[in-house]
Structure 1
Amino acid sequence: MITTKQKELIKATVPVLREHGVALTTHFYNRMFTHNPELKNVFNMGNQGSGKQQLSLAMAVLAYAENIEDPSVLLAAVTKIGHKHMSLDIRPEHYGIVGRHLLASISEVLGDGATAELLAAWAVAYQQLADLMTGLEMKLYSDSVAKEGGWTGWRPFLVKQKKQESEEITSFYLYPADGGKVADFLPGQYISVRLFLPEMNLFQPRQYSLSSAPNGAYYRISVKKEKGTTKHPNGMISNRLHDAVQVGDVVEVAPPAGDFFLNTGKQTPVVFISGGIGQTPLLSMLEYLTSTNSDREIVWVHGCRNRKVHAFREPLTTLEAQHGTLKKHIFYDSLDEEMQVEGYYEGIVELDKLKEQAMLRDADYYICGPAAFIKKQFKDLSAMGVSGEAIHYEEFGPANLVLS
């Protein structure tokens, strides 16, 4: 149990963490991968190379220190991390390795400032957090196994179909190699896919949103091919899926996870707002609503560069024709003559152009896309009077956005 004095010692490190948090987490990851290189197979080395993971961890450590008096206020953030850990098959024994290197890094980075008392306080604080995380994650593992078709860890899946959805995006239909069923999921959740990269001599996992409604037979992911990343780990898995993985190949998949999902118990309107590949989790939500014949009012707002890169354009048009309560609004950077019709707009997504067409009474707003896109839509919705509780968003990659 952490003492009052230890809490004070933790809080006293907040200024240092604000100024040097990224330096600390960078040192930590370098140290851990040097002593435990096997963990490179667990972590996204693309995010390591870009610095995103170091920033994300620095923000998390700072938030924990700032709220050491009442860590329960971090429940939403802890839940998000727990889902990500389950999708990476993080187990309780990993926390011992991380804790050892984190404490050593605090000592090495702070030098004389890392007194025995301070290190002891952080050891207790870290164990408190580790106990919280492992408890949450063990429940997620247990719940996953309890589902029909559920499992934990990595399960082999066959790629039975590859379907090109646009110039950049291809869908992969994944079926269990063992012939069994797949667990249902909440529309909006993701799976982790793991491939071996010979050029890195590592397994690398990546999270991809499920882009179809639950069906019990297969999972569909829709993946964007990245450009200019052949020498950088970020984008390597997506590009390998496009270029090297063929129908009949086997990939490893972790069970569905994620805390961004459609509230299927509501009957109120929903507004989906996406940028680029960010439409994938929202497609799952949309397909769920249309496949269950929901009478909820639905507005679909999507932005991308042009119709050539716009995936699922025709299926969306079909759904709109079949589903009387669905209305779509599409923004392209530039409109060609064929697209200068009702429901299409030139420029970036501007909710102000739609006004009452997207501002529905008692609606929930689901946003997914790049960080800058999410920030803009959140700000614009807030300016229009939408409460923060009605706005739900998913940031691709390590969570660094803090919106309120």
Structure 2
Amino acid sequence: MLSEKSAETVRATLPAVGAAVGDIAELFYTKLFAAHPELLRDLFNRGNQNAGLQKQALAGSIAAFATHLVAHPDTRPDVMLNRIAHKHASLGVTRGQYEVVHRHLFAAIAEILGEAVTPDVAAAWDEVYWLMANALIAIEERLYAEQQVLAGDVWRPWTVTARVEETADCTTFHLAPADGSPAPGFAAGQYVSVQVGLPDGARQIRQYSLSCAPGSPVRTITVKRIHGPAAAGPDGEVSNHLHAAVAVGDTLRVSAPYGDLVLRGGAAPVLLASAGIGCTPMLSMLEHLAETGHPSPVTVLHADRSPADHALRADHRALTYKLADGTARFWYEADAEPGDGEGLMDLADVAVAPGTRAYLCGPLPFMRAVRAQLLAKGVPAADIHYEVFGPDLWLASA
């Protein structure tokens, strides 16, 4: 709960801080990495830093949290906090790192806003920061306890037992604990972090959804190789490394499973909508629904560049056919086959059963468009859930 005095100060200064929060975030990261270069090398995603995405996510989350506090001082934006906490837990973030962030963030605030940062203003925003930080710390420590790991110690060695080239740019890696111990359980839709050693000595981390069902005897991740001008640099360095350098028998450092986009229990109708590599958590959910004999309608929707680019396409169809009441619809921008849609996903003639719970994963513009179509069809906003690969710019600005 934000104190009444601080709430007044934050409300009065929020427009100025909000206008400068992008500059504050940029200077913060400059200061943080100058003092702790190991954080950029081994913890933060260099691709997101290079593209400015992490700066946008940080700025948006701080502004969203502060806005919520002044509008609803007796509550917390738990959806946003849970999403961030799961990502932090998958990276092994610890309590002490919040002290480091606080030091450099407030140095950046003071430098950007100058004399506007009076003692009262500094105290009010300090209160905002620690309300957010302590809430995240509490959630993260609960998540660590649930996985029976020490705070931050989320890594285990896993052996690559097989790799399958799904498309020209997507490969599925089959993984098993290197020590032969049982694999930790997970919920359909969750992801793991994978840490790899790169030629420059960095140990970069990326998150990949588990594309298998929770009851599967193996764990699988399906990795899309990132192309483009910076494919060999930060934007695609981990995916390219996995594709080019990781073979059967190699060992990867893999985190415990985390993620708050999970398939809920019950017999409600389900809609799974994905685009591109966003199919991976949907495949985990779909396989689980098929294995457990889900009795209600399950609508499976996917959009891609072409059938040849659609990773796990055969599994997408085969698992749908195993359901008591399953329907699959695919859209392709090129080379659509008879029965498939052409162009972007269009739900105009897609039947959505009453009480449907929808799960979305793919690029942000895709999910915005699908969500709008679902809302127009009467699906309540509370029943539309999503996963974003990378910094969550949607939630932070919502």
Name which of structure 1's ranges 58-67 and 315-324 shifts more when overlaid on structure 2.
315-324
Q: Distance in 1 between matches of 2:383 and 2:2?
A: 36
Structure 1 portions without partners, runs of 5+? none
Structure 2 gaps of 5+ residues are none
* C-alpha distance in structure 2 between counterparts of 1:137 and 1:316, whole Å: 33
Letter in 1 for 2:47: G
Alpha-carbon separation, structure 2, partners of 1:227 and 1:2: 46
**Which letter maps to 1:355?**
V
Of stretches 165-174 and 25-34 in structure 1, the one that deviates more from structure 2 is 165-174
Q: Distance in 2 between matches of 1:390 and 1:131?
A: 29
> Quick check: 67-76 or 96-105, which moved more?
67-76
Deviation string 1:158-177 (CA, Å, 9 cap, x unpaired) is 11111111222110111111
The answer to whether structure 1 residue 345 and structure 2 residue 341 are counterparts is yes
Partner residue, 1:314: 314
- Separation of aligned partners in 1, 2:9 and 2:56: 23
Q: Which moved more, 1:123-132 or 1:38-47?
A: 123-132
2:123 pairs with 112, 120, 124, which one? 120
Query: 2:376 maps to which residue?
Result: 383
8 Å CA contact retained: 1:2, 1:125: yes
Partner of 2:56: 55
- With over 3 angstroms needed to count, the CA separation of the structure-2 counterparts of 1:374 and 1:92, relative to structure 1, is same
Secondary structure of residue in 2 paired with 1:248: coil
Compute the displacement of 1:71 (Å). Answer: 6.5
Please tell me whether the aligned partners of residues 2 and 69 of structure 2 are also in contact (alpha carbons under 8 angstroms).
no
1:2-401 matches, cutoff 5 A? 3-40=3-40, 41-69=42-70, 70=73, 72-145=75-148, 152-199=153-200, 201-215=201-215, 217-228=217-228, 229-263=230-264, 265-335=265-335, 339-340=337-338, 342=339, 344-352=340-348, 354-356=349-351, 359-401=352-394
- CA distance in structure 1 between the aligned counterparts of 2:74 and 2:129, rounded to whole angstroms: 12
Deviates more, 1:161-170 or 1:208-217: 208-217
Structure 1 segments, 4+ long, off by >6 Å, are none
Moved more, 265-274 or 114-123: 114-123
Q: Deviations over 1:296-350 (max 9, x none)?
A: 32111111111111122222333344334211111111235xx21x3x1111111
Contact residue 165 and residue 311 of structure 1 kept, 8 A: yes
What is the number of equivalent residue pairs in this alignment?
Answer: 391
Tell me by how many angstroms 1:266 deviates: 1.4
In the alignment, is the contact (CA less than 8 A) between 1:145 and 1:152 conserved in 2?
Answer: no
Q: Secondary structure at the match of 1:170?
A: strand
CA 1:71–1:258: 2 relative to 1, 3 Å: farther
- Secondary structure in 1 matching 2:77: helix
Query: Percent identity over the alignment?
Result: 36
Partners of 1:71 and 1:99 in 2: CA distance? 24
For 2:155 and 2:13, locate their aligned partners in 1 and report how far apart those are by CA, in whole Å: 39
Q: How high is the TM-score relative to the length of structure 2?
A: 0.94
2:286–2:320: 8 Å Cα contact kept in structure 1? Answer: no
SS at match of 1:355: coil
After superposing the two structures, state which structure 1 stretch, 327-336 or 123-132, moved more. 123-132
1:206 partner SS? strand
> Using a 3 Å threshold, how does the CA distance of structure 1 residues 173 and 120 change in structure 2: closer, same or farther?
same
Q: Kindly report the root-mean-square deviation, in angstroms, between the aligned alpha carbons of the 2 structures.
A: 1.8
Give the drift of 1:196: 1.5
- The answer (yes or no) to whether the contact 2:195–2:254 under 8 Å persists in 1 is yes
Q: SS at 2:253's partner residue?
A: strand
SS in 2 for 1:73: coil
Structure 1, 38-47 or 184-193: larger mean CA deviation: 38-47
Query: Deviation at 1:72?
Result: 2.7
Secondary structure at the residue paired with 1:54? helix
Whole-Å Cα distance in 1 between the matches of residues 51 and 320 of structure 2?
Answer: 40
